[in-house]
Structure 1
Amino acid sequence: MSPSWMSRSRGKTDELDAPLNASEKRSYLSRQSKTFWMLLVAGIFLLIIAIGLGIGLGVGLSGGSSGDDSGGGGGGGGSSTPIPPNNNTNVTAGEYWKPAPGTSWQIVLQTPPTDTSLNVSVYDIDLFDNNASTISTLQAQNRKVICYFSAGSYEPNRPDSSNFTKSDYGKELKGWPGEHWLNTNSTNVRAIMSARLALASSKGCDGVDPDNVDGYDNDSGFSLSPTTAVDFLSFLAIGAHSYNMSIGLKNAGAIVNATVDFLQWEVNEQCVQYEECDLFQPFIEAGKPVFHIEYPDSAPSISSSARNSVCDDDEAHGFSTVLKEMDLNDWMEDC
């Protein structure tokens, strides 16, 4: 019972003008007692309903957000609220590479690749750390080249980092000192990303791998949501496709269904470890690859049982799975 209700009850009694005899007092008190208990029961009933609604709304609002804030691998970020597909026809316009499920691949981000003898069809390499010659050499070997950059975080050592303003970036990514989440709704951030797409095109990249688009699933310091992430990826896709480059989704399981129609692949980290590979199956069902990475603790020395636990995972059926060390050097073992 709230204190304000109790004070109003006392105030009503104080407003009586005439004195009452004993019989009237008993009758009055009886009526007051009945009224009191009726209001008490009604108040408790309403309180129970309010608590039930509050719990239900709380579950609905918090469902599906891990708050992982890892900034690294994993964390598909499933959502209980489906995001509708993007209906912007401009987002798929253009002629660009469309890889098929099961396409073999390698990813090397620590340094430019030094061992290109692997029999794979795709290399995913860093946009800034590789020059046009490295890309053209890989393409001459009948490989497609995906160029990686972080679209959703500020990295202080990139050549264009001075172009960001302090209002563009927010909280630090946990485990990545100096790297901060970006406000992907910022006009300046989007201008910088447009310049990165132009750079990728000038170097001859066949596609781009924009990382950290799942700021909505982390403590970024900004009001980001799955809907704003889909809008940002639509912006990036229109830009990439205008240069005849493909573009994929990185992790971000909550927005798979909303982006699978206009993105050409998924790059996922650790869905077997986090038991969420089912989130990314829509890409396979749409005839698009899931480039999948797991980081076994014992890598590069992997037991057959550890390998089989990854490669035989039912939910990752059809994925292009590779086993890597966390620093994403040249070492790789595939399934």
Structure 2
Amino acid sequence: MSSSLGLLSGAITSLVTPPVEVPVQWYQPGIETTWQIQLQGPTNSGYTADLYILDLFDTPQSVITDLQASGRKVICYFSAGSFEKWREDANRFLPTDKGRRLGDWPGERWLDTRSANVREIMSERLLLAAERGCDGVDPDNVDGYSNRTGFPLTYEDQLDYNRFLFNQAHALGMAVSLKNDLGQVQELLPLVDFAVNESCHQWQECHLLTPFIDAGKPVFHIDYLHLDSQARAAHCRQMAELQFQSLTLPVALDDSFRFACND
């Protein structure tokens, strides 16, 4: 074979050989990662926290950029299981997508997470998070199956929806949390990077989250109780034993006060 034919053969081979797929990488916090969550009001970026959870829609881009420039990670919060009438994409939900009112939260209703329309909207929210440069996402209300939603959602329906969310987040190069949904920890643990939990200590459910720690994945815990100093010290001892990162915060998550067990 002449040298020119050899070069041509090599060029053809390079054209038909499929490209090697590079695995998508995403942020994976460790169990000692410190954190802050604030969903309302101007962001207080003055805490010595490794990771901030902030609202996907309401947080100015400059806040995300500045936090990341200072070495912090930003996780973007959105509700994946409820309709919120004030969101900019609220008009895209169909009447059939919306179920019962969500507890004590005015303007919020459970969603039928089996709906193709709901899933399309959530896919676009995940894309928005990626476009805004979020290091990860914190999808809330992913436990509709265990609540009175107005829809006959089953355990398997919830697993299917949550897997859909988590796999899409990872495909976009973002970390993803399991928010509450303690009944599905065993099935979903391999698909998420950390847990965000509200009040497991109050309901004596914290033991259900220990598989995260065993897997080297952090548990970010929120305490909403107004504990006195002695009770708070006991609470923090319990959190330290569990290796959870616990914050005492207002229900509004507006930074009106904050107590961190690791301070």
Work out whether the TM-score is over 0.5: yes
Match runs of 1:128-143 below 5 Å:
128-143=57-72
Paired residue for 1:72? none
Alignment gaps of 5+ in structure 2 = 1-22
Q: Please tell me whether residue 94 in structure 1 is matched to residue 21 in structure 2.
A: no
Match runs of 1:150-169 below 5 Å:
150-169=79-98
Paired residue for 1:177? 106
Q: Which has the higher strand share?
A: 2
The code of the aligned residue for 1:278 comes to H
How far the C-alpha of 1:229 sits from its partner, in A, is 1.4
Q: Is the 8 A contact 1:111 1:129 kept in 2?
A: no
The code of the aligned residue for 1:260 comes to L
State the TM-score, normalized to the length of structure 2: 0.87
Q: Please tell me whether residue 309 in structure 1 is matched to residue 234 in structure 2.
A: yes
Q: Please tell me whether residue 106 in structure 1 is matched to residue 36 in structure 2.
A: yes
Cα distance in 2 for partners of 1:325, 1:316 equals: 24
Q: Is the 8 A contact 1:112 1:126 kept in 2?
A: no
Q: Secondary structure at the match of 2:191?
A: coil
Percent of residue pairs bearing the same amino acid type: 46
The code of the aligned residue for 2:253 comes to L
Cα distance in 2 for partners of 1:316, 1:233 equals: 29
RMSD: 1.4
* Number of aligned residues: 238
The code of the aligned residue for 1:167 comes to T
Cα distance in 1 for partners of 2:120, 2:135 equals: 21
- 1:132-184 residue CA offsets vs partner (Å, 9 max, x unmatched): 22101110111000000000000000000000000001111111122110011
Q: Secondary structure at the match of 2:196?
A: strand
Q: Is the 8 A contact 1:289 1:319 kept in 2?
A: yes
Q: Is the 8 A contact 1:207 1:247 kept in 2?
A: yes
Runs (4+) of structure 1 exceeding 3 A deviation are: none
How far the C-alpha of 1:241 sits from its partner, in A, is 1.1
Larger radius of gyration: 1
The code of the aligned residue for 2:70 comes to Q
Paired residue for 1:78? none
State the TM-score, normalized to the length of structure 1: 0.69
Paired residue for 1:285? 214
Paired residue for 1:58? none
Q: Is the 8 A contact 1:106 1:120 kept in 2?
A: yes
Paired residue for 1:257? 186
